[in-house]
Structure formats: structure tokens, C-alpha cells
Amino acid sequence: GQVQKLAYSLLNDEQVRDFEINRELNLGFTLEEVGRFRVNIFVQRSEVSMVIRYIKWAIPTIDELGLPRVLKEIVMNKNGLVLVVGSTGSGKSTTLAAMIDFRNHHEGGHILTIEDPIEYVFRHDKSIISQREVGIDTLSYENALREALREAPEVIMIGEARDAETMKAAINFADTGHLCLTTLHAVNSNQAMDRMMNMFPSDMRNQLLMDLSLNLRAVISQRLVPGMKGKLACAVEVMMNTPYISELLRDGKFNEIKEIMEKGDATGMQTFDQSLYDLYKSDQITIKNALAYADSSTNLEWKINFGGDQKKLDTRHNLNKLGGLEELTLPSEEV
């Protein structure tokens, strides 16, 4: 059909073979003077289909995205592991690109990215940036990760930590003095820790906890929340690896980390509920959406009622005017 002809026109011979074997393929392509696109090609009802997403030429800045300023400090670390986590479509790749580009504009060195596919195209500034696309510039993530250190980078960005081998490589890069950034599917930092632990056999977990306690720099979790006038607001949780959190990581006490994060203003740490509270106070989101996307709607409602100075409102009264608490739909945590 016409869709198959269009899809195949975007592929090289190797990608065509890959698609015909696996029946699905991700890729990126550029149209001069138009922009860059991310494409997913798949088969449904025996017909080739496509989903195409437009990616802006300009890489948005951390400030333009409304992200916490502490992300600028995080990406300037000399070494360590940084995780950006969230569900599909939560903007992880955009946040990662903004962080990489901030470093590009402020620090010299070699930044290596391994992506499937390349989304944002970086331009050299103070750093030289090498972007390798799986399936085009390298045969596989495994090959690219194995050769990465031979390419002499100071910073390595891995598009997604999909399995134990990729996560092991990311931790190894951090352990050998590099700054490594990657993404993971998880709804918050606690789940991110659990997901990493579950990637590995039980006999490796003590070593993994030790490695994380020493090398993890931060976990940045995000959710896109419906905002005012059809815009989306980004709620962000930031976990920093302070000395106390390092102890909790080493002991596997993930459930105790959130309490420390709630007290972590001086370090730049914040929970989702704190971020949602700030978005509500600044009139970027409604009460209803703040509570719908909270980790603890009860705690956030209490904070809105009693923790603010200008908006000590009865949220239940306001929610009932908006359609009632019984209509409040919590977002899915499936990733």
C-alpha cells in the first residue's frame, strides 16, 4: 500500500531487513528546512502503519521547559550516573537533551550519545558532540557501549537503559570517572530503584547497591500535567545522592528516601507533591489536576489547605464545583 511505500522510502536496506524480521522499527529522519521527525513503523491487521512525531529543530533550554535550576548543577558533575525517569511520553528525551545542551554551552570536552533513534541534533559549542544511532552508525547498543570508552568521551548519554547489560555499562562508565546520563521507565525515584534492582540476579544486588550508593548523582522523575489554556506543565521530582541517601541506597532502604527528599530544599531535592504544589500556587495547573497526579493526594490536599499563604482554600469545595471528588481520575502508573 501507499503507507508501506512511504515507510520503505525512509529506510536503508538493513533497516528494511530488520523491519521485515521484527515487524516494528523506530527511526528518526530529517527534512531540510522543515524539521526532524521520529517515526515508529509497525504492522496492524497485516498492513504497514506509521506514527510520526515532529521534533523541533531548536533544543529547548532547562529554563524554557520550566525545569528546576538544580538540573544545571547536576549535568555539570565531572562523573557519576544521572537517571531521567518517567512514563512513555513524559518528556524524558527532551529533558535529557536540554541538560546535554546546557553542558555543551558551558563546558569543553567530548560528549558521546548512543540513541535509538537520534531525536534532537546537537551543534558543537564548547563541547564536541558525537551522536551514534543504533542501526545506522552502530549495529547495536551492545556494540556501541563496548566501544564507547575507546572514543574518549567525558560524558556519555544512553538513550534508554532497557536491560541489565545497558544499566551495568552505565554504572561502569560512572565508576570509571565519566558522567553518564540515561533514561528509565518508572513513575518516581523509588520505582526506578526497584526497577534497577529487578534487572539483576539476586546474587548481584549487594554489589549493585554499593555501586549506586557511590556513583549515583541524581534521579530526575517527571510527569506532564494538563495545565491552563491547553498547555502542559512539567511536575518534577529530584532525588540527589546526599551522604545520608547514599547510606540508604547502600542498605536498600528505598522507602525511607522520600522522607529525606521532603526536607531537601537546600540541596535542590523535591518530591512530586512539592512540585505540584508549586505549579498550583503559580496558577499553572488546577487543584483537580494537582491532586490527580500526586503521589499522595491526601498529603497534597492538606498542604494546599494549610501550607500556603494565599490559597488556604477548601479544596473539596472547589473540586465539587468542578465536578466532584468522585469524578477524580488518577493517572495510570503503567509504563
Domain membership flag for residue 80:
yes
In Å, how far from its chain's centre is CA 92?
A: 3
CA-based nearest residue to 74, from 253, 260, 315, 239: 239
| Domain closes at, from 232, 255, 270 | 270
**Cα–Cα distance for residue pair 170/215, rounded to 1 Å:** 10
| Domain closes at, from 226, 242, 270 | 270
**Cα–Cα distance for residue pair 116/28, rounded to 1 Å:** 8
Domain membership flag for residue 129:
yes
- The confidence band for 267, taking pLDDT boundaries of 50, 70 and 90, is confident
12 and 119 share one domain: no
Name the average pLDDT for the chain. 91
114 and 172 share one domain: yes
Going by C-beta distance under 8 Å and a sequence separation of 6 or more, which residues neighbour residue 44?
none
Of the candidate ranges 14-18, 65-69, 258-262, 313-317, the one whose mean pLDDT is the lowest? 313-317
208 and 160 share one domain: yes
What's the rounded mean pLDDT across residues 279-307? 94
- The confidence band for 334, taking pLDDT boundaries of 50, 70 and 90, is very low
220 within 8 A of 237, measured Cβ to Cβ: yes
Q: Which three cell numbers stand for residue 32?
A: 531540510
Check whether 331 has a pLDDT greater than 70: no
CA-based nearest residue to 93, from 68, 56, 129: 56
Domain membership flag for residue 316:
yes
Domain membership flag for residue 335:
no
Check whether 243 has a pLDDT greater than 50: yes
Going by C-beta distance under 8 Å and a sequence separation of 6 or more, which residues neighbour residue 218?
74, 82, 83, 238, 239, 240, 241
β-strands 216-226, 232-240 pairing = antiparallel
Angle, helices 164-175 vs 189-199, to 10°: value is 110
What's the rounded mean pLDDT across residues 183-191? 95
Helix residue spans in the chain (DSSP H): 2-9, 13-22, 70-75, 92-106, 141-147, 164-175, 189-199, 205-215, 243-251, 257-262, 272-281, 287-292, 297-306, 315-321
Total domains in the chain come to: 3
115 and 221 share one domain: yes
Check whether 335 has a pLDDT greater than 50: no
Domain membership flag for residue 180:
yes
List phi, psi (to 5°) of 88. -60, 130
pLDDT in tens, 222-238: 999 999 988 999 999 99
CATH value at residue 136: 3.40.50.300
DSSP-based three-state secondary structure for 132: strand
Is residue 238 within a helix (H) or strand (E), and if so which, with residue range?
Answer: strand 232-240
Task: For residue 303, give its domain range.
Answer: 275-327
pLDDT in tens, 30-64: 888 788 999 999 999 999 999 999 988 899 999 99
β-strands 35-44, 47-55 pairing = antiparallel
35 and 139 share one domain: no
pTM score, whole prediction: 0.87
**Cα–Cα distance for residue pair 207/329, rounded to 1 Å:** 40
**Cα–Cα distance for residue pair 155/173, rounded to 1 Å:** 9
- How far apart, in Å, are the Cα atoms of 19 and each of 42, 63, 230, 299? 8, 39, 36, 48
163 and 49 share one domain: no
| Domain closes at, from 228, 247, 270 | 270
DSSP-based three-state secondary structure for 295: coil
